[in-house]
């Protein structure tokens, strides 16, 4: 039965991946993302349903437009396959858990991985992290944290028990809220991450990274909380340094060339979401 679910999720991922390609393209052209027919980016011919089959259409047409015969970017099938693969991974990861909010977790992280794919590809292409993608993700992440925060449920329940509870247990209330609250932890982590990147921007006068990276840092904090957001930043910095040096050695980039940092931050965040606790535990086991 699980294989049927995974097949459905994979196909859904391909379809969503196709939609993400539309989002990436129309963010650049500033066209409407919805309520507009898909068309070839070269000849502008309106595409029919048979031209929109994810991956299969690219293979059958040998990577060329059916109408103008110009090459179609390899980005399209890659985004579709990457999205589908992540959808299967996320569904498998949460489906086998017994967590209380596993269904909500699946939906949230499917959304987040879609956001991350758009951010990564767009940043690689244009060296910009679009606000139209970041801001909705921030809002949804805030609501997600509020929903899963058991300490918030505790506060609401206590409120309906009357003011006497607060007057008698005020210290207990604040201790519980600030030491156990998912929402508070993640909000503080978001401001820490945003402040960290903002400090780099100010120190380097915008040459080290852009405002989009700071906004992405805020989103990272909302998703990961503390201390995993620190781990994500560390992993992103290490990978970014390795890739940067490799590009310079390979003469693909110069020392002062711009390298989009968004994809590295996404990499660090995704790795921290699913393996962060294991990485931290391994570190303490090896060095402490």
pLDDT in tens, 190-202: 999 999 999 988 8
Model confidence at 53, pLDDT cuts 50, 70, 90, reads confident
Q: Are residues 35 and 94 in the same domain?
A: yes
Q: Is residue 118 part of a domain?
A: no
- pTM of the predicted protein model: 0.85
pLDDT band with cut points at 50, 70 and 90 for residue 73: confident
Work out the average pLDDT over 76-98.
86
Share of the chain above pLDDT 90, in %: 35
Interval 129-144 mean pLDDT: 93
Same domain, 29 and 87: yes
Q: Domain check: are 155 and 257 in the same one?
A: yes
Please tell me the predicted confidence (pLDDT) of residue 138.
95
Indicate if 73 and 190 belong to the same structural domain. no
Query: Are 72 and 203 in the same domain?
Result: no
Indicate the number of domains in the chain.
Answer: 2
DSSP for 35-62 reads SS--B-TTT-PBP-GGG--TTHHHHHTT
DSSP string, 111-160: HHHHHHHHHHHHHHHHS---HHHHHHHHHHHHHHHHHH-HHHHHHHHHHH
Highest mean pLDDT: which of 16-30, 92-106, 143-157, 274-288? Answer: 16-30
Choosing from 76, 110, 144, the residue where a domain stops is 110
Write down the number of H helices and E strands in the chain.
Answer: 12, 0
- Residue 93 within a domain: yes
Looking at the predicted structure, is the pLDDT value of residue 257 above 60? yes
Long-range Cβ contact pairs of 3-8 (< 8 A, separation 24 or more) = 5/91, 5/95, 6/88, 6/91, 6/92
Q: Decide if pLDDT at 154 tops 70.
A: no
Residues 128-137, mean pLDDT to the nearest whole number: 92
pLDDT at 65 over 80: no
Query: Within a domain: residue 122?
Result: no
Question: What mean pLDDT is reported for the chain?
Answer: 81
Question: Which of the residue ranges 39-43, 73-77, 207-211, 244-248 would you say has the lowest mean pLDDT?
Answer: 39-43
Q: How many Cβ atoms from other residues are within 10 Å of residue 287's Cβ?
A: 6
Q: Are residues 8 and 77 in the same domain?
A: yes
Count of all residues that appear for the chain in the document: 288
- Check whether residue 147 and residue 94 sit in a common domain: no
Looking at the fold, whether 106 and 131 belong to one and the same domain comes out as: no
- For residue 255, the 8-state DSSP code is T
Residue 79 has pLDDT above 90, yes or no: yes
Find out whether 197 and 209 touch, Cβ atoms under 8 Å.
yes
Higher pLDDT, 43 or 105: 105
Answer yes or no: do 58 and 105 share one domain.
Answer: yes
pLDDT of 1-13, one tens digit each?
677 888 899 999 9
- What domain range includes position 75? 1-110
Residue range 109-122: average pLDDT? 95
- How far is 194 from 220, CA to CA, in rounded Å? 9
Q: Is residue 84 part of a domain?
A: yes
Residue 68: per-residue pLDDT: 79
Domain end point (choices 50, 79, 110): 110
Asked whether the predicted pLDDT for residue 25 surpasses 80, the reply is yes
64 and 45 Cβ atoms separated by less than 8 Å: no
Domain end point (choices 83, 110, 137)? 110
Is 185 part of any domain?
Answer: yes
Q: Is residue 39 part of a domain?
A: yes
Spell out the residues 6+ positions from residue 154 whose beta carbon is closer than 8 angstroms to its own: 176
Look at residue 71 and tell me if it is in a domain. Answer: yes
In a domain, 192, yes or no: yes
Residues 88 and 144 in one domain: no
Identify whether residues 70 and 172 lie together within a single domain.
no
Q: Are residues 155 and 281 in the same domain?
A: yes
């Amino acid at each position: 039965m699980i294989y049927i679910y995974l097949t459905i999720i994979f196909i859904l991922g391909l379809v969503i991946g196709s939609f993400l390609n539309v989002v990436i393209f129309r963010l650049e052209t500033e066209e409407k993302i919805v309520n507009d027919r898909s068309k070839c980016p070269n000849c502008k011919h309106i595409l029919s349903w048979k031209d929109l089959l994810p991956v299969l259409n690219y293979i059958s047409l040998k990577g060329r437009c059916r109408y103008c015969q110009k090459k179609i970017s390899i980005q399209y099938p890659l985004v579709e396959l990457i999205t589908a693969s992540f959808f299967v991974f996320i569904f498998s990861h949460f489906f086998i858990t017994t967590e209380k909010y596993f269904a909500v977790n699946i939906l949230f992280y499917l959304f987040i991985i879609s956001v991350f794919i758009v951010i990564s590809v767009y940043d690689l292409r244009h060296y910009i992290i679009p606000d139209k993608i970041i801001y909705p993700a921030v809002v949804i992440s805030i609501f997600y944290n509020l929903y899963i925060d058991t300490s918030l449920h505790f506060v609401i329940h206590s409120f309906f028990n009357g003011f006497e509870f607060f007057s008698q247990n005020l210290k207990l209330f604040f201790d519980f809220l600030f030491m156990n609250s998912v929402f508070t932890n993640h909000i503080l982590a978001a401001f820490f991450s945003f402040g960290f990147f903002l400090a780099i921007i100010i120190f380097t006068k915008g040459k080290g990274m852009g405002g989009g990276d700071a906004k992405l840092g805020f989103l990272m904090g909302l998703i990961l909380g503390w201390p995993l957001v620190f781990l994500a930043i560390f992993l992103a910095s290490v990978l970014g340094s390795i890739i940067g040096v490799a590009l310079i050695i390979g003469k693909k980039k110069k020392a002062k060339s711009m390298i989009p940092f968004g994809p590295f931050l996404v990499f660090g965040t995704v790795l921290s979401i699913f393996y962060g606790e294991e990485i931290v535990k391994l570190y303490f086991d090896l060095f402490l």
